[in-house]
Amino acid sequence: MKLKACLLSLALLNCLSLCAQTDSAYLKVYHTNPKLEIPIPAVFFCGAYFGFKALDKHASFTEADVLKLDPASINSFDRPVAFYDPANFASAQSTSDLFLNVAVASPVLLLLDKRIRKDWVDLVSIFLVTHAADNAIYFAAQASFRRARPLTYNPDVALEDKIGEGKTNSFFSGHTSWTAASTFLMAKMYTDYRQIKGFKRILIYTGAAIPPALVGYYRMEAGKHFKSDVMVGFLVGAACGIGIPELHRIKIKDRGFSLNPFFMGGSNGVSVTYTIQ
C-alpha cells in the first residue's frame, strides 16, 4: 500500500512539474524572429521613401486627362464625393494627417502593460511586419490601378489643382489602411495578452474601428478618396492588423488530465497523466 501511495505521489509530482513547464512555455503569446523581422521591414521602409515618390509620378495627370473626365461615369455610390466643398479640403487633409500620425504611434501604449512590456521586441517585430505587409499591398494596388481622385472631377476645383503628380492614386486609401493596421494591431495584441473574450473583446475592436473611420471620412472631405477607396483601405489595414499578430501567435491547446493503470513487477496502481490534446 505504501508503495502504491509513493508511486501515486511521484506521479502527481511529475504531473505538477509538467503543468508548470507547460504554463511557463505559454507565458509568451507570440513567436517572432527579430533577426529577420526587424531589419527586413526597416530596409523595406527605407525603400518605400523612394517608392512613394515613384507612385506619385506614376499617378500624374495632364490637362488633356482632366478634360476627358465625366462625373456621370462614377458609380452612384461614390459620385457624391466628387462634389464635396473644396473650401474644406485643406483643413480636412490636415485633420486626417494628424489622426493618422497619432494612430500609427498608438501601439506604443501597449508598453504601459507590464506583461507586454517584457515582450517589447515581439511588439516591435510584429508592428514592423504588419505595416510592411500593409504597405506592400498598398504599393501593389497603386501600381496596378489608376483611379482619378474625387477632386479631379469637381467643377469647383481649379484646373491647375487637378493636374500634376499624385492625382490618379485614389485606390485605395493608404491613410485609412495604415491607421486601421495600427489600431487593430493594438486591439488584437491587447486582447490576446489579456485573453479578453466575448462582449469586452467586441467593444475593444469597435473602439479600434473609430480612428480609421474618422481618417477615411476626412480623406473624403479632402477630395482625396471615394467611399469605396476608404472601405477597401479599412479592410486591408484591419486584415493586416489582426492577421499578422495571429500568424505569430502561439496556439494554446486544450489540456486535461487522464488516469492510467500501471503494472510494475508485482505491484499495480494508477498514474495521473497530464495531456495536451
**H or E segment and range at residue 273:** strand 267-276
Alpha helices, DSSP H, located in the chain: 2-25, 34-37, 39-58, 63-67, 89-105, 114-118, 120-144, 174-194, 198-221, 227-248
Task: Report helix angle 120-144 to 227-248, nearest 10.
Answer: 140
Q: Which amino acid is at 65?
A: D
Q: Which of 57, 85, 234, 246 is nearest to 150 (CA)?
A: 85
Region class of 164: left (phi > 0), else alpha (psi between -120 and 50), else beta: left
Q: Is the pTM of this model over 0.75?
A: yes
206 forms bridges with which residues in the sheet? none
Compute CA 214 distance to the chain's CA centroid, rounded to the nearest angstrom: 17
What lies within 8 Å, CB to CB, of 7 at 6+ separation is 262, 264, 267, 269, 271
Determine the pLDDT at residue 22. Answer: 41
Q: 3: closest CA among 271, 276, 268?
A: 268
For the chain, which ranges sit under pLDDT 70? 1-27, 252-277
3-state secondary structure of 236: helix
Looking at residue 134, its pLDDT comes to 96
Measured CA distances, 100 to 57, 110, 138, 149, 266 (Å)? 23, 18, 16, 19, 74
Distance CA 135, CA 106 (A): 18
Question: Around 66, how many Cα atoms within 13 Å sit in the side-chain half-sphere?
Answer: 21
Answer yes or no: are the C-beta atoms of 213 and 153 closer than 8 Å.
Answer: no
